[in-house]
Every structure is written in C-alpha cells, then in structure tokens.
Amino acid sequence: MLRDRLFHSPAFGCLVIGLLMIACVGSISIVLDQACHATLNRRLPIYPNAEIVTERHNYFTAFGVGETYMQLYSPDSTDTVQQWYGREVGTYLREAATNNDPFLRLGSGQWRVRRDASGSGSEITLYGTCVVGG
C-alpha cells in the first residue's frame, strides 16, 4: 500500500522525469562532443612530431564542444608546415563538401604558422570552436 502510494506520488514522478532529463542531456552532450572532436581533428590536425606547448579547452575534450586553443612547436620551417596544413586541411574540406558531410558546419577552425621566437622552427597556433552559441 505504502509502496503503491510512493510510486504514484507527484514527487516520484518529478524525480523520474528529472533523472531522465539529466540522462538525455548528458547523452546528447557526449555525442556532440565526440562529433565535434571527429570533425575538428580533421579540420585542425596536429602537425606530425610537433610538441604541444599550450593547450586550453573549456569542455570535455580538446577540439570537442566549446573552444580549444592549442600552440605547437615544430623544428620544421614555416614554409614546410604551412604547405602541410594547406594540403591536409584543404583535402579534408574538399572531401567534406563533396560528400555533403553533415558535420562540416558543426565547428570552425583557424590555424596560423609563424617563425618561433628563437628563429629555429615554427610556432603553430590552432583555434577551434564547435557548437558554441553567439
């Protein structure tokens, strides 16, 4: 009798609805984060053998939902690094546009390459955003 009243009470119904909402929002957040991570890792790949100097992100993972800032160092020349990024990112964007990739517009990214302070290599800056309102 008491158990029947508990399961049919408004408080129990609110508890169940609240838990379902938390589970739903959590699941959507994780799926979106993984989708962002997949597309931004192709849009802003890490240069081969580059050293990560700085990494900041404001959600679950780097290049997931939110904003990500990453600074890398490579001993390679700026021309070599710029050519590599142009080729890799350009290939991805062309393929994604040709194949009507639904995740292409999910995020955006910018990359910049310049000579590092010592003049002996390249400083690479990657900045990506995904599913950020504004």
Task: Please write the tens of the pLDDT for every residue from 106-121.
Answer: 889 999 999 998 888 9
User: In whole angstroms, what is the distance from residue 72 CA to residue 61 CA?
Assistant: 17
pLDDT in tens, 34-90: 989 988 999 999 999 999 999 999 888 888 889 999 999 999 999 999 999 999 999
Q: What is the mean pLDDT of residues 21-35?
A: 90
Bridge partners (DSSP) of residue 108 are 129
Mean pLDDT of the chain: 89
Span 18-43, average pLDDT: 90
pTM equals 0.80
Q: What's the pLDDT score for residue 124?
A: 97
Question: Residue 3: its pLDDT value, please?
Answer: 66
Measured CA to CA in angstroms, residue 95 lies from 35, 42, 43, 72, 86 at distances of 17, 11, 11, 26, 14
The CA distance from 123 to 115, in Å, is 6
Cα separation of 36 and 42, whole Å?
A: 10
The Cα–Cα gap between 73 and 76 comes to 9
